[in-house]
Amino acid sequence: MGPQVKYLHQVWNGAGYHWGFVHTAYDESLPREIFPENVLQLAQVLPLSHVVTLLQGLWMGKLWGNYWAEVGLLAALSIVFVVVSVRTFRWEPKN
């Protein structure tokens, strides 16, 4: 197993941990209002927070036009993450 694969495994584990936290935080049984302000500010840095906001709004029948900020931010982050991934991760050929 190459060093990139080990690193990718660590990144995946970290992302899974944050996914569990954010998923629990935005579950209907735990409304956003019960969390302290610093946790809410931290959640705004995570891309999944914007995905949840977008999906909740669309699910409730609101229009896409209400979410240009979320869509733009997610598109920009997607571009950044793809560029970083292409430049960082290299698969070594099998011998």
Task: Provide the number of structural domains found in the chain.
Answer: 1
Please state, in angstroms and rounded to a whole number, the distance separating the CA atoms of residues 24 and 18.
10
Question: In which domain, by residue range, is 49 found?
Answer: 3-88
Residue 34 domain flag = yes
> According to the model, what pLDDT value does residue 21 have?
55
Residue 95 domain flag = no
pTM recorded for the entire structure:
0.57
Residue 55 domain flag = yes
Residue 61 domain flag = yes
How does pLDDT run across 25-36, given as a tens digit for each residue?
455 556 777 889
Residue 93 domain flag = no
| Integer CA distances (angstroms), 41 to 7, 30, 35, 37, in order | 28, 16, 10, 6
Residue 78 domain flag = yes
Residue type, 60: M
**At residue 15, does pLDDT exceed 70?**
no
